[in-house]
Structure 1
Amino acid sequence: MQDGEEQGNTKPMRGESEPLLGRRASSVSRASQLLPKQLTTRHAFAVLVTLQIGSGIFASPAQVDHNVPSPGAALLVWVLGGLLSWAGAASFAELGTALPLNGGMQEYLRHVYGDTMAFLMAWIYIMAAKPSAMAIQSIVIAESFASIASRPLSEWLLKLIAVVAFVAMVILNSISTRTTLRLSESFTGIKILTVVLIVVGGLTAVIVHFVDPDSHLSGGTDWYTKNWFGTRAPAPEGDPVDWTSISGWERYGHYSAAIYGGLWAYDGWDNANVVASEIRDPGRALPRAIKVAMIVVLCSYELVNVAYYILLPWDTMSSSDAVAVVAVTTVFGRWAGIIISILVALACAGSITSNVFTVGRLAVAASQRHYLPAFFSKRGLPKLLKRSPAQTPIPEPDSSDDAPFYANILVLIVTLVYILTGSFRALVTFVGMAMWVFYVSTVAGLLILRRREPQLHRPYKPIIVLPVTFVVVGVLVIVRSAIFAPIQSGVLAGLLVVGALISQFRHR
C-alpha cells in the first residue's frame, strides 16, 4: 500500500493506546493484503449493477409516482436520485482508493471519527440494515411466485418461499469467492435482460400505436393524450393528494418521500468499496466501475419508467408495488407477465447474492477489528462439510476455500428474523434511514479528511461540489424521515443507543 494509507491504518483511535491500535491495524492490513486480488473492473461493475437493479426499479415506481404531481416530475425525481447516488459513489471511490481495505464504510468511519462510530456502523449494518434489505429482496421473490400462481397464497406460505430462496442464496455464496463472482455475473445479465424487455415492451407499444392505434398492444392512451408535466387530479385509489391546494411543507414531505423511494432503488452503489482490497489496481478499476455502473443504472431506470407510463394508464401507476408485472400483463397478456415475474425474481436473487457477498466480508472485517467475536473472521467451509482429499483435487489457493462461511451463517440467522417478522413497506423505510445516516456521516468524513490529511495519497479525487451536495441533500432526507416516520426512526435510535452502550462496555 501507499505510505499515506499505511499511516492512516495506524492512526490512534479515541480510547485506545498506540501500541494496541498499531497491532490491530497492522493485523487488519496484513489480512487484507493476504486476500487474493481476484476482482477486476468487470467484477466490480457486476457487483454494483446487480446490487442496484433489484426489486427497487420493479416496486419503487409506485411510491415515487404517488408522491409527485405528474409523470414528468416522477422522471425528474429518478434523475435526481441517480445523480445524488452518483455523487455518493464518486465520494466513496475517493475513500476506497485512498484506504483500500475490506470493510468499506466501517474503515473510513474508524479512520475519521474513531472506534465507536465504526462499531456503530458495523452493528447497524450487520444486525439491521443489510439483513433487512435482503429480507425485502426475498419477500419480492415470494411475491413474484405468488403473482404467477393459479390461486392466492397464504401469508405464511409466502414467508416460507422467501426463507427458502434466501437460504439457497446463502448456501451458494458460502462455497467460494469464485462461485459467487460467477453467480454475480450471471445475474447481471438477467437483470439487464429484464430491463431491456420492459423498455422494448414500451417501444413496441409506441410503434404499434402509430401503425394501428386501436390495437390492444398499443398500451395506454394517457402517454399521447395528456401533458406529461401537467398537474393531475387526486388519485382514485389510496390517499388522494390535491396538488393545487396542499401547503409547501406538505409538498416538501411528498417530494422527499418520492426521492426516498428513488434512492432505495439506486441503493447499493457503495458496495464495491467493501471489497476494495480484493480489486486489482483499485485506483483505476474502482472509479471506472462506479462511473460505468451509474451511467447504466441511471439510463436504465429512466427508460424503464418511461415504458411504465406508456404501458399503463397513469391513474393505476401507484396502485401496485408490482408495477413491472402489472404493466407487461396488462398489454401483452398473462404469459408475458409470468416471464417478467420469473425474471424479476431472478433479479432479486442477484441482489441477494451481491448483498451476501459484501455483508459477509463486512462481518469478517468487523471481526478482525474485534467488533465481533474472532470466530466470524474464519474463511472456508468447516471440515465436516468438506470432501476428503481422496475425493477431490486440491483446490487452487486463490479460488476456493475463502468464502466467509461463519459470517454468512450470522447474516442468515439475522435476515430470517426480518423475513418472518417484517413487511415490504416497513422494511424499505427502516433500511433507507439506517443506511443514509452512515452514508452522510462517511461523506462528511471525506470532507474532514481533505482538510485534516491533505497529504493522504488519493488516486481518485472528485470535485468538491459532489460530496458537499451529497451531505446537504442527505441531511434533508434524514430529517424528513425522522419527522414523518417516527416509529422507524425510534427503532433506529434505540439500536444506536444499544450499540453505543456495547461499544463503551468493550473498552472497559
Structure 2
Amino acid sequence: MDAGQESVGVGIGEPGSNETQPLLGRQSPDASSGSSNASKQLSTRHAFAILVSLQIGSGIFASPAQVDSNVPSPGAALLVWALGGLLSWAGAASFAELGAALPLNGGMQEYLRHVYGDTMAFLMAWIYIMGVKPSSMAIQSIVIAESIGSISPASPLVDGWLVGIAALAFVSMVVLNSINTKLTLRLSESFTAVKITTVALIVVAGFVAVIAHLTNPNSSLSGARDWYSKNWFQTRPSASDGKIVDWTSISTWERYGHYSAAIYGAVWAYDGWDNANMVASEITNPGHALPKAIKAAMAVVLSCYELVNIAYYILLPWDRMSTSNAVAVEAAKSLLGKPAAVLITVLVAVSCAGSITSNVFSVGRLIMAAAQRHYLPGFLAKRGLSSSRGRRHEQDSTQSTSDAHHTDENASTTFDAPIFANLLSTIITLVYIATGSFRALLTFVGMAEWVFYVSTVLGLIILRRREPQLHRPYKPSLALPLMFVVVGTLVIVRSAVFAPVQSAVLAGLLVMGTGVSWLGR
C-alpha cells in the first residue's frame, strides 16, 4: 500500500487467540473456513469507485521525476505512464480472476499459499513487514520533507535537514496512529478527498496555462516555454542519480535499465490495483460487472495520470522535471508563485500522511499476526494498554462476566493500537529514511512488490492448467496474465542488474525470511 493504495484491512485474529489467520490480507466474512460467503452487495459503480480511490494516491506527486530522469523525452515519459497503466490493468484483471475463483481470507498471500505452499506465502508477508511497508513509508516521509524544503527560505535544504524533517513527519504520524484504531480509520478516510482534490487542482492549472497562452502568448500564466517551443519526442540528455545520461551514446542494455527504473516509478503510482480481488468476492454477477468496473477504473486512472503529467510538463521547464521529487510543489510555484506552492505543499503533505496512515495500520497488524504465529517475539502481538487491563480483569474473580466483557470492550476502543508492532516498524522505517534516497527506495519497493505480483499471476496460469474445473466467474483472456508475467519478469531481471544494492538487500531478506519461516515451524 504505497502510492495509491489506501485500504487498510488486515486479516488477523485478536492477540492471544488460537486463530491461524493469514499474515496479510482482508478479513473475509467467513474467515474460519477460508472461503467467503459474503453477500453480494457491490455494484459495478461501487467496484469502480473502490478501484479508483485505491490507486490515486501520493505517488503521482513524486514519481514523475523518477520516470522523467530515466527516459529520453517527455513523450517517452507519457508512453511509460501509459505502459504502467496497461500493466496495472492486466494485473488487476488477473487478480480479479483469482479473487472470484478463490475467495480466501488473505488475498495474494493465500493465492501464493494455494499454488506454491506455506513458505512462499510467509515470504511475501515477511518482505512486506521488513521491506515494502517501511520503504514505502520512508518514501512518503521523504516526499513530505522535500515538498517542505522546496518552499523554505533556505531552499534547497541540506540532506541532513531533509532527513530530520522526514523522520519527524513519520514519527508524528506513527504517534497519531498509535492512539486507537477508530482514529486511524477516520484519518485514512478523510485523506482520500484531499488527494483527489490535489490531482484535480494540478490538472486545472495545466488547462489554465494552455488557455492563457492561446489567449495571450506573453501571459505570465502560460507556464514554462518548453511545452510549446520544443518537440515532445525529441531526445535530450536527462539527469539520473546525479549523472547526465546521453541517450545518443548509451548501449541498448543501459537504455533498457533506465526504462525499467522508469516503469517502477510509474507502477508505484498506480499501486492499489491488486485489490481488485477484494471487489471480485463481493460484487454482484462478477463475470459481467467486474470487467466493466476494471476497464472503466483503469481508463479513468490512466487518463488522470496522463493529464497530471502533461500538466507538469506544461507548468515546469523540462530540465527541472528530473531534479525534484516535489514536482507538484514546483509546478504550482512556477505558475502562481509562493502562495500556491504553500497550498500544494500542504495538500501533498496531507496526501502522503494519508498513505503513511494506511501503511502504519496495516504493517502493525502484519507484525501482530507474525508474532501470533511465533515468527516474531510474542510481545509484538500486544495492543496498547488493553493487554494489561485484560489480565487485571481476568485476575479479579469477583467481577461479573458481563462487567468484564463491558470493560474489555472499552479497552478495545481506547489505546488499542499495536504499540510494540508500531515501534518495530518505526525503527525499520527510520533506518530506511536515514540510509536510502527516494529513488533507491522506489526501485527497491518496485522489485520487492513485483516479485510477488509476477509470482501470483504466474500462479493463475498454473491453476488454469492444474485445476481447469475450478469455477471462475470472471476469466479474462490468457493474453493479459501472459503479458503481465513476461513484461514484469523482464523488468525485475533488468532492474536487479541495474540496481545491485537493492537487489542484494532483497535477496538477503528473502534468504533471512526463509530461515525465519523454517524456525517458526
Scaled by the length of structure 1, what TM-score is found?
A: 0.81
Letter paired with 1:192: I
Aligned to 2:467: 453
Aligned to 2:262: 258
What is the CA–CA distance in structure 2 between the aligned matches of 1:425 and 1:343, rounded to whole Å?
Answer: 22
Note the C-alpha offset of 1:238: 4.8
Note the C-alpha offset of 1:283: 7.1
Aligned to 1:16: none
Note the C-alpha offset of 1:211: 1.3
Q: SS of 2:218's equivalent?
A: coil
What is the CA–CA distance in structure 2 between the aligned matches of 1:214 and 1:415, rounded to whole Å?
Answer: 47
Aligned to 2:145: 142
Q: 2:218 aligns with which of 184, 209, 214?
A: 214
Alignment of 1:477 onto 2:491: yes
Note the C-alpha offset of 1:220: 1.8
Q: SS of 2:517's equivalent?
A: helix
Aligned to 2:5: none
Aligned to 2:312: 308
Note the C-alpha offset of 1:99: 3.1
Aligned to 2:71: 68
Q: 2:56 aligns with which of 47, 53, 73?
A: 53
Note the C-alpha offset of 1:435: 1.1
Identity of paired residues, percent? 67
- What pairs with 1:188-267 in structure 2 (closer than 5 Å)? 188-232=192-236, 238-267=242-271
What is the aligned length? Answer: 480
CA RMSD of aligned residues (A): 4.0
Q: Is the 8 A contact 1:50 1:347 kept in 2?
A: no
Range that drifts further, 181-190 or 375-384? 375-384
Deviations 1:369-426 (A, max 9, x none): 654466656678625699x999xx98999x9679763554543343233233332122
Q: SS of 1:270's equivalent?
A: helix
Letter paired with 1:220: A
Q: SS of 1:503's equivalent?
A: helix
Scaled by the length of structure 2, what TM-score is found?
A: 0.79
Range that drifts further, 484-493 or 245-254? 245-254
**Residue 289 and residue 359 in structure 1: after superposition, are their counterparts in 2 closer, same or farther (change >3 A)?**
farther
Letter paired with 1:183: L
Q: SS of 1:191's equivalent?
A: helix
Range that drifts further, 362-371 or 442-451? 362-371
What is the CA–CA distance in structure 1 between the aligned matches of 2:37 and 2:414, rounded to whole Å?
Answer: 12
Aligned to 1:92: 95
Aligned to 1:14: none
**Residue 82 and residue 368 in structure 1: after superposition, are their counterparts in 2 closer, same or farther (change >3 A)?**
farther
What is the CA–CA distance in structure 2 between the aligned matches of 1:413 and 1:36, rounded to whole Å?
Answer: 38
- What pairs with 1:31-180 in structure 2 (closer than 5 Å)? 49=52, 52-152=55-155, 153=157, 155-173=159-177, 179-180=183-184
Letter paired with 1:465: A
Q: Is the 8 A contact 2:368 2:380 kept in 1?
A: yes
Deviations 1:302-347 (A, max 9, x none): 0011111111222332222222211221121111111111111111
Note the C-alpha offset of 1:251: 2.5
Aligned to 2:3: none
Q: Is the 8 A contact 1:199 1:307 kept in 2?
A: yes
**Residue 32 and residue 236 in structure 1: after superposition, are their counterparts in 2 closer, same or farther (change >3 A)?**
closer
Q: Is the 8 A contact 1:50 1:184 kept in 2?
A: no
Letter paired with 2:60: I
- What pairs with 1:406-485 in structure 2 (closer than 5 Å)? 407-485=421-499
Aligned to 2:16: none
Note the C-alpha offset of 1:490: 1.1
Note the C-alpha offset of 1:74: 1.1
Q: SS of 2:461's equivalent?
A: helix
Q: Is the 8 A contact 2:374 2:520 kept in 1?
A: no
Long gaps (5+) in structure 2: 1-18, 394-401
**Residue 170 and residue 401 in structure 1: after superposition, are their counterparts in 2 closer, same or farther (change >3 A)?**
same
Aligned to 2:507: 493
What is the CA–CA distance in structure 2 between the aligned matches of 1:36 and 1:43, rounded to whole Å?
Answer: 15
What is the CA–CA distance in structure 1 between the aligned matches of 2:53 and 2:389, rounded to whole Å?
Answer: 29
Q: Is the 8 A contact 1:32 1:102 kept in 2?
A: yes
Aligned to 1:4: none
Note the C-alpha offset of 1:166: 2.7
Note the C-alpha offset of 1:207: 0.7
Alignment of 1:29 onto 2:31: yes
Range that drifts further, 323-332 or 364-373? 364-373
Letter paired with 2:71: V
What is the CA–CA distance in structure 2 between the aligned matches of 1:172 and 1:283, rounded to whole Å?
Answer: 40
What is the CA–CA distance in structure 2 between the aligned matches of 1:249 and 1:360, rounded to whole Å?
Answer: 40
Alignment of 1:405 onto 2:418: yes
Q: Is the 8 A contact 1:269 1:290 kept in 2?
A: no
- What pairs with 1:333-412 in structure 2 (closer than 5 Å)? 333-363=337-367, 366=370, 371-372=375-376, 382=386, 405=418, 407-412=421-426
What is the CA–CA distance in structure 2 between the aligned matches of 1:366 and 1:461, rounded to whole Å?
Answer: 33
Q: Is the 8 A contact 1:379 1:401 kept in 2?
A: no
What is the CA–CA distance in structure 2 between the aligned matches of 1:160 and 1:358, rounded to whole Å?
Answer: 25
Aligned to 2:187: 183
Q: 1:319 aligns with which of 293, 309, 323?
A: 323
Long gaps (5+) in structure 1: 1-22
